[in-house]
A = this chain, B = another copy of it.
Amino acid sequence: SIDGQRLWDSLMAMAEIGPSPNGGSHRLALTDEDAAGRHLLIEWGQALGLTLRVDRVGNMFLRRAGKRDDLDPIGVGSHLDTQPKGGRFDGVLGVLAGLEALRTLDDHGVVTQRPLELVVWTNEEGSRFAPAMVASGTYAGVFSVGSTLARRDRDGVSLGEALAATGFNGEMAVGEPRLAGFLELHIEQGPVLEENHEAIGVVTGVQGMRWFDVTLRGQSSHAGPTPMRYRRDALAAAARCIDRLQAHALADPSGDTKVTCGTLEIDAASRNVVPGEVRLSVDLRHIDEGELDALEARFEDELAAAGEAFGVEAKSERIWASPVVSFDAGCVDAVEGAAKARGIAYRRMLSGAGHDAVYVSRVAPTAMVFIPCRDGISHNEAEYSSPEQCALGAQVLCDALIELAGR
């Protein structure tokens, strides 16, 4: 059995790195805080005798030898970066539960057939560098190493520069090591498990998601003498588009249509200036690829209509599309079997959030384990799962890991 208290202590120790004002975490990818978090993990890994390798996009692999080191390893892990005002569990739990599994194997002197790799993927959140999961996507060959290193944050710093600045510009080729399987534990980040009083989600796949950069170009003018009919108010057009998209998503009785505008910036904003230019991000999600196409078409229509209504030129660029994913049946069974064997209430479910497991699943058999989080809240400083909930998740993860790696 895993040690729930040790896992909790590790979670709380990590949360002391980049603490945010209201009890959350602030460790944007490849900042000093993120680097400090990685160093703490490396220290813990070294105490366990794990061997560290870092690839060219900063993904970290901490290896535990197996009985058969000629076989491809099984990976377990997640990410350590957070949102600007993120929680203490998103990502971190997946990494530290993986560590807890390896510590538990050590406690009991168990060596698995296959080697194990504790993995930390770079820049999962997509908050500093878009898109999300960019480094696991590079590992899976979806993005080229060059394009990933060239991605820039809002201040113009490239991911490559941030890697060099933090010292996590590793030498291992991206795509190494090949994994024979991958497991990721994560908080659900939604309300389903909590509402249904279930302790484990056996994740069978992930909904599709698409990101857009929208630019609205009107004309700045004076808030006082400019007649309403003369204006070309870029914010008014953005507001119309946001309001219509919200109404559309809220009207879907299935609840499967999801629309989020998370960032909005007005160029040279001033109280008494009609906004001339607005940049807006749009995040569309659906569990069905065809419905996601329809949602994208609807979004483009609403954007065009809003632009026309306010005399504003509206352009959108799709900067990311992550298709609907189904995980590997064998890995899903291993997770389900572990939950069943321990008599834990679980459900098979889809993930609403993207995870590194999405991209890893393209190159290795993959599945995920979810645990409930309070009020379904995530990407929020108040994010919380109890020590007991975390421990149950780590136990299922550990059991499934041993199942995949072989005793």
A329 in contact (CB, < 8 A):
no
Of the candidates B211, B220, B255, which one forms a contact with A227 in the assembled complex, judged by CB atoms under 8 Å apart?
B255
B219 touching A276 by the CB < 8 A rule?
Answer: no
A221 touching B378 by the CB < 8 A rule?
Answer: yes
Of the candidates B219, B221, B257, B285, which one forms a contact with A223 in the assembled complex, judged by CB atoms under 8 Å apart?
B285
A252's closest neighbor in chain B, by CB? B228
Of the candidates B219, B222, B242, which one forms a contact with A190 in the assembled complex, judged by CB atoms under 8 Å apart?
B222
B226 touching A376 by the CB < 8 A rule?
Answer: yes
Q: Mark A241-270, 1 if CB is under 8 A from B, else 0.
A: 011001001101001011111111011111
A233 in contact (CB, < 8 A):
yes
In the complex, A268 Cα to B223 Cα: how many Å? Answer: 28
Of the candidates B236, B353, B379, which one forms a contact with A220 in the assembled complex, judged by CB atoms under 8 Å apart?
B379
A238 surroundings in chain B (CB, below 8 A): 239
A194 nearest CB across to chain B (Å): 11
Q: Work out how many copies of this chain go into the complex.
A: 2
Interface residues on A, range: 35 or more
- Given the known interface contacts A209-B224, A235-B261, A352-B222, the answer about A125 and B270 at a Cβ–Cβ threshold of 8 Å is yes
B266 touching A264 by the CB < 8 A rule?
Answer: yes
A364 in contact (CB, < 8 A):
no
In the complex, A229 Cα to B132 Cα: how many Å? Answer: 24
A224 touching B130 by the CB < 8 A rule?
Answer: no
A350's closest neighbor in chain B, by CB? B225
A354 in contact (CB, < 8 A):
yes
A226 touching B127 by the CB < 8 A rule?
Answer: no
| Chain A, 366-401, CB within 8 A of any chain B CB | 376-380
A354 surroundings in chain B (CB, below 8 A): 224
A22 nearest CB across to chain B (Å): 11
Of the candidates B130, B233, B240, B376, which one forms a contact with A230 in the assembled complex, judged by CB atoms under 8 Å apart?
B376
A260 touching B246 by the CB < 8 A rule?
Answer: no
- Given the known interface contacts A271-B262, A283-B271, the answer about A228 and B257 at a Cβ–Cβ threshold of 8 Å is yes
In the complex, A85 Cα to B222 Cα: how many Å? Answer: 12
B246 touching A233 by the CB < 8 A rule?
Answer: yes
A148 in contact (CB, < 8 A):
no
| Chain A, 32-91, CB within 8 A of any chain B CB | 83-85
- Given the known interface contacts A223-B283, A225-B376, A272-B125, the answer about A243 and B249 at a Cβ–Cβ threshold of 8 Å is no
A126 in contact (CB, < 8 A):
yes
A191 in contact (CB, < 8 A):
yes
Of the candidates B219, B242, B263, B352, which one forms a contact with A269 in the assembled complex, judged by CB atoms under 8 Å apart?
B263
Of the candidates B127, B224, B377, which one forms a contact with A271 in the assembled complex, judged by CB atoms under 8 Å apart?
B127
A-B contact pairs, 24 of them (CB 8 A): A125-B270, A126-B271, A190-B226, A192-B225, A221-B379, A221-B380, A222-B353, A222-B378, A227-B258, A228-B250, A229-B250, A229-B255, A230-B376, A233-B246, A239-B246, A240-B246, A246-B310, A262-B270, A262-B272, A262-B275, A263-B270, A272-B283, A272-B379, A273-B380
Please name 14 further chain A to chain B contacts, defined as beta carbons within 8 Å, in addition to the given A127-B272, A236-B242, A264-B264, sorted by A numbering. A83-B273, A189-B225, A223-B262, A223-B283, A224-B354, A226-B378, A236-B261, A239-B239, A239-B243, A239-B246, A260-B274, A261-B275, A262-B271, A272-B353
Q: A residues within 8 Å of B by Cβ?
A: 83-85, 125-127, 130, 132, 188-192, 207, 209, 211, 219-230, 233, 235-236, 238-240, 242-243, 246, 249-250, 252, 255, 257-264, 266-276, 281, 283, 285, 310, 351-354, 376-380
